Amino acid sequence: MVSTPYTRGRAREYQALRILRSEGWLCSRSAASHGAVDIFACKNGKMVFVQVKSGKVRIMEKDRSRLKEWVDASGGQAEIWFFGNRKGVRKEVVC
């Protein structure tokens, strides 16, 4: 299989889904979206919006603003998950 930025990103999104589901979250991936939210997750009345980044990719300020809009509209929480090469995941809460 050819490795493209899309396939690598999708693989990281599925990895994030597995992590969330193992923690008891009900979640769904926004397939092929070019929006701010890659994964929607709910648990115990809480909602989390996740943007997944892979490698050394940086998130643009407009994407942070869009995540903040989701938080403001829903009362949920937004997180950016950075997956590094062999370094695990670093989670950043968007305020």
CB 8 within 8 A of CB 54: yes
pTM of the model: 0.88
Band of pLDDT at residue 1, cut at 50, 70 and 90: low
CB 78 within 8 A of CB 68: yes
pLDDT digit string, tens, across residues 62-94: 888 999 999 999 999 999 999 987 778 888 898
5-94: CATH topology: Trna Endonuclease; Chain: A, domain 1 (3.40.1350)
pLDDT digit string, tens, across residues 4-52: 888 888 999 999 999 999 999 999 999 776 788 999 999 999 999 999 9
CB 21 within 8 A of CB 51: no
Would you state the pLDDT for residue 8? 85
